[in-house]
Structure 1
Amino acid sequence: MPETLFKVDLSKSMSEQEIVGHNRWHPDIPAIASVNPGDIFRIECKDWTDGQIKNNDDPNDVRDVDLTVVHVLSGPIHVNGAQPGDILVVDLLDIGALPGDEWGFTGIFAQENGGGFLTDHFPNAAKACWDLQGIYASSRHIPGVRFAGITHPGLIGCAPSQKLLETWNARERALVEKGANDGLPVWKPKMTPYAALPNPENAILGTLKGADFDRVAGEAARTVPPREHGGNCDIKNLSKGSRIYFPVYVDGAKLSMGDIHFSQGDGEISFCGAIEMSGYIDLHVDIIKGGMEKYSMINPIFKPGPVEPHYSEYLIFEGISVDEFTGEQYYLDAHVAYRRACLNAIEYLKKFGFTGEQAYLLLSCAPVEGRISGIVDIPNACCTLALPTSIFEQDILPH
């Protein structure tokens, strides 16, 4: 059994844990432990909302979730010998649910609380709770469906340098200002913010206190998007056996993780769209000295592991870059095209007894395959969503 460096008590919030994690990115958040290259260790994680969502039939907790709290992360872990310019090699040896907490949830966020990919079609909050039995998930809220999960950390990455943090904040602030003042020539759901800028409200910053806490809370980046360091990439194939190569920006790398998913579809379209859960991750770390320059690394690289559900039969839905409301033609817009593929799949599943909300939740968390299938044939991008047919108890093929 690997040594557990970060334990969580599910009855307590992250700020009340014996070892306190964090929910912002900043180079000055202190490490909670140190490891050597070659070490194997275990990290326990709370669900990304810090326990705000309960295993019941009431979606009001999803409707009312406080997004200033998220994502609660376990770490940072200082890796001895890692220096800026190196590559941190992280092997995901094992991932699983915490004993006694073998359940998860998928949610549709209310439009006024950020919404999701299809918030203009599904503006109200909804949720599905899932029972996790070994590698399989089933839900009383979406009956007639059962599938194998591909468990992974939705969020994992190293700390940014101060310079990189300032770059993030400057470019994201410029995006928000441009959107507010001039509008942007891209499609965006109504009421969805352009970016989540630094916000000290409910910041959790490990052991920092006093003036240091106040300074870091005002500067620290939110954990919402993926960035150069990794972060909230939500890549479902980062499962057991995967190896991730992270660029190192600070001494010790300061590796953190959380937001564990039992399963997810490509895109995680409802935003709270994976089967979110608490859990543990067993890791092995190593270092490639000078690796960033040697391999021209800007963003992480990963090699997926051999453990994943193998579905052989799919029903594939196409979408093109034409707005579903106005019929406006967009130029090679993969965002709009993937929306149309998802909406086409949802409308199709409604013919088999599922509500639109059930279908939306299912496409978020089942192991669907999303693709940019064509990005050169002007003016339409073509995106596809491949839905495994054997996850359904009924035959969903056209006849």
Structure 2
Amino acid sequence: MNTPPSQPSPPGADWVDGSSVRIGALVPLTRPGWAESGRHLLAGLELAVRDVNEAGGVGGKPLELVVRDTAADPQKATAAVDELAGLGVTALVGEYHSVVARAAAGRADELGVPFLCSSAVLDSLTEQPTEWVARLAPEQSRGWRIYADFLLGAGNSRIAVAAQPSVYWASGIRILREHLAPRGGTVIELDMSALTPNAVCDALVGHGATALLLLVGHPDPAVPIVRSVRSDPRLAEILIGAPAGQPELTEWVNLLGGDGAAIPFLRYLPERLSPLGARVETALRERLAQAPSFVGFEGYDTIAVLAQVLRSHGPDRARIAGSWPHVEAEGTRGRIQFSRTPGISVWQWTGAPIQVVDRDPADPERFRIVHTG
């Protein structure tokens, strides 16, 4: 592990030669990645870069994004980190998928390239504590405990999870079990490598489950599972949940219509946006031609934080990594600062807002807040 200086250099550090400050951006833009989330993430990154450059850039130089599509593939992400590091980027930003971000973060740590992760939540983003990586999204253990509290508050104690093999899904199941068991809750794991959507329905009835969580990919097998459960009269009262956020995608409601409503998921937005957040929401809506997801705000905040770091500490990679504990920047969702959190291997923003929301059955285009953390 590369170790940067414990204290950042003072403002006024020399800027490298070149016409721009290059930032490497890791974004899932093609299948099997959740490409819609990647598109929103990139829109937020690009909008913030535009705003920074229109305000004069940093150190008298414009920011330039060098974008690479990870396609939810850890190997592609690792190769992209190698390429971008070789191109001399000042820092890395982005990524949505936790397993992909984990691969990118590990490689960034090995190479000594600062990485500000926008959206991935996996607690163990690196194998060992690192000074090179900071994260804006709340850690999975915090968000999924809040989701578990929502389930209990809604009267659900027998929770089935339809899960595919993944470090991320396995981590989620562990968090749910550890949080629910002392509170009288039970987690029943359904292996989606062995079950069809119709077999899931039979298993839910057999186990007496009151809730089903979709810890699976989108659109398959998530959409077929929802269709099967919604059409089974034996399961008319069961709660379907998707903590990872599949129902936020426009494609979700396009494929499922009303069947995709009332499926709660985690979203990282405050109840009210700040004036900056409101302005960014309007600009993102224009850029995307649709309402922005929380991922767009994460992208914007990533560049807002990095630009503040660059203005204060210059473009040197080690100085950037050494600056994480000293960051204080205004984001779209609150004041952003990083700290060390027990059990988390990277610098963490602990103030990210967390909501549990769903789509309104009366109007699936509208979201309802059903719980806050």
Q: Same fold (TM over 0.5)?
A: no
Greater helix proportion: 2
TM range (shorter): under 0.3
Give TM-score, length-normalised by structure 1: 0.25
Greater strand proportion: 1
Give TM-score, length-normalised by structure 2: 0.27
